[in-house]
Amino acid sequence: MSTHLPVLIPLFPLAAALAVFLLPGALSRLAALLGLGAGLAAALFSLHLFGAAPWVYNLGGWPPPWGIVLAVTPFTGFLASLFLLLSLFGWFYSVASASLSVREERPGKAFYSLLSFFTGVLLVLLLARDAFTLYLCLESALLAAAGLLLALNARNRTESFHLLLYGSAGASLFLFGLWLLYAANGTLNLDDLLSQLFISRNFPVALTAGFFTACGMAVPLLFPAPFLSGRLPVQTPPAVLGALSTMLSRGAAYLLFVFFFFVLDVPGLAIPRWLQALEYLAAAFFLAGFVRAFRQKDLRHAVAYLGAAQLGYLFLGFAVGDKSALAGTLLEFFNQVLVTAGLFFIAGNLRTSAGPQPVSRLAGLARHRPLTGLALVVFLASIAGVPPTAGFFGKFYLLQGALEKGDWAALALLSLSLAFNFLYFARLTAFLYEQRGPSLAYGPPSAALKAPVLALAAGVLLLGLFHHAVFQRFVEPALPKAFQNVPVPNVPFLGHEVE
Amino acid sequence: MSVEWLPLLHRGLLVLAALAGFQGLLREVSPIRKAAAWMVLQAGLALLGLSLSPRPPHPDLSSVPVNPLTHGLVLSTLLVSLGVLSALLMLGRGIRPQEPEKEKRKPK
């Protein structure tokens, strides 16, 4: 029985999605309970497994490279647990905001079915070691996300259509990259692909496939930046949108990490200068989102930009690519999941009507709502890299990596964005603690709605305080083998003699 | 007569189809046409990928005439594409086409 545990993590939400879908429409409460139960069960298995990782499971008993493998490493197990936590928070907010009369309709069974499905496919995306399964998960996640947005608000039809259309166009590019790899190597197993690419030394295919893979992820990564998603941040409950977008964008970023460093990073491969320049341009494009975020007048737009802008740090880590930079990138993964979701949850908690949420109304918020204000300060501090938050240590390792490699372009981009973010962190903190009358501040969120935000803020601080343990337990085993003093490349299945 | 140029022509046409799909994705205003353009892009890229892999090399398959993964890959791609297309059509049916920009309208 215990050998089947890894598959149970995604299986519970996927089975719940089907069960909820088959329920009669009137039983929406039972649907909600089924979704909750499946999420909790999957979270328990995930927590159990990442403590005892690594686990490898062959679907249907088919061994690799032909069968589909699910691998639970400490890193993916922990990330899966965070995703499940966000999914449960999304479930909680969808129920709580409706029962607390925030002028939102109680979601029906379609919402719970799609949320379970979305969570299930993203968990498979984290665990699967098969390229086509990853494409399938990406398409399914986009489909479920589009359906969820429509289930949350019928006015989101155009935005849902665009997310699915452009996301699927990106997925087509990703699929083309996979076809190229398959055509050159005859396999779809990620570990086997690396082995075959190394044996054939087919560097042009690796570079081309990497280019198409990266292009294919643009839409999920940028979701829900307002220039791409239209009125989505305004028309959708921010807390649920936060859970969705954080899982989708960070899942896509993790997919890129796996492809760049575990499939296409063939020893001896030299990345051309124009491709390196593109990497820095992509990172700079995302980091420029900070400027756009702080220029927004509406809180939900600002939070949506902040969510996408933080991905710039991950891309800088990918571009630098040494041990310290990648360690910082992986720490940033955990940090960004908590911070991005936390910011959306705060925007959701402060939402008392369907109207605009001006940033100017945050003045004096921390004096009248001290816990919410403090959580907001913690999240902003983590974005700006202020100790002892997890963001500080992630960015510290990134800076160290850029310095060790002598990568001045990355160092300049990092320093600039950190200085800018620190300046705005200081200004916003002063703004939050301004002396203002309570009438200007947002209304009080209930204690129940505050709990997830405080839990995420505490998580950001705990990750920072125990960063050394997190690094040793989760981050270091997830680094490419080259940084673990293990011979490269890893040829686990075929037994070929590799020099 | 040598027919070496045939695969090249075949791939060239598929690249053109994919580019036409991409252009349609950006230029078309009707959601249904946009969905159709996506299908053209997907079909062009998938068929181009398929045309590149008549018999993908793998050391474990030296005695097998066809890599069994190819069939599974083609079938799965087809099913996923049809699923996404139907979802796009369902979503797009309820959306009004965007108004063409004013400067592009011809004066009466």
Contacts of B91 in chain A (CB under 8 A): 146, 150, 157, 160-161, 164
Centre a 10 Å sphere on the Cβ of residue B40 and count the other Cβ atoms it contains: 18
**pLDDT given at position B4:** 73
Question: What stretch of H or E contains A429?
Answer: helix A408-432
> Does residue A492 or residue A20 have the better pLDDT?
A20
Number of alpha helices (DSSP H) and beta strands (DSSP E) in chain B:
3, 0
Please report, as a single letter, which amino acid is at residue B66: V
- Residue B48 near chain A (CB below 8 Å): yes
Using alpha carbons, select from B50, B39, B40 the residue that is nearest to residue B75: B50
Mark yes or no for CB contact B73/A180 under 8 Å. no
**Nearest-angstrom CA–CA distance, A123 and A141:** 10
Using alpha carbons, select from A376, A358, A374, A378 the residue that is nearest to residue A441: A358
Contacts of A175 in chain B (CB under 8 A): 42, 45-46, 49, 77
* Best of A158, A161, A491 to mutate (most B CBs within 10 Å, chain B): A161
Number of alpha helices (DSSP H) and beta strands (DSSP E) in chain A:
24, 2
What's the token pair of residue A295? 């220029």
Contacts of A184 in chain B (CB under 8 A): 56-57
Tokens 């499946």 belong to residue: A38
Mean pLDDT of A329-342: 94
- Please give the radius of gyration of chain A, using alpha carbons only, rounded to the nearest integer: 22
Contact residues, chain A to chain B, C-beta under 8 Å: 65-66, 132, 135-136, 139, 143, 146-147, 150, 157-158, 160-161, 164-166, 168-169, 172-173, 175-176, 178-180, 182-188, 196, 200, 494, 496
Lowest mean pLDDT among A25-34, A215-224, A277-286: A25-34
Positive or negative torsion for Cα B57, B59, B65, B71: negative
Contacts of A189 in chain B (CB under 8 A): none
Mean pLDDT of A70-77: 88
- Please give the radius of gyration of chain B, using alpha carbons only, rounded to the nearest integer: 19
Using alpha carbons, select from A286, A304, A289, A291 the residue that is nearest to residue A225: A304
Using alpha carbons, select from A161, A472, A238 the residue that is nearest to residue B84: A161
User: Average pLDDT, whole number, for chain A?
Assistant: 85
pTM: 0.90
**Nearest-angstrom CA–CA distance, A336 and A325:** 16
Tokens 């879908």 belong to residue: A21
Given a cut of 70, is residue A127 above it in pLDDT? Answer: yes
Mean pLDDT of A98-119: 74
- Number of residues assigned to chain A: 499
Interval A207-223: pLDDT, tens: 999 999 999 999 999 98
CB A190 within 8 A of CB A262: yes
**Nearest-angstrom CA–CA distance, A311 and A297:** 22
**Nearest-angstrom CA–CA distance, B35 and A166:** 10
Question: What stretch of H or E contains A56?
Answer: strand A55-58
**Nearest-angstrom CA–CA distance, A4 and A63:** 14
Instruction: Point out the residue among B22, B57, B87 whose CB comes nearest to the CB of A143.
Output: B87
Instruction: Point out the residue among A147, A165, A184 whose CB comes nearest to the CB of B88.
Output: A165
Mean pLDDT of A255-264: 91
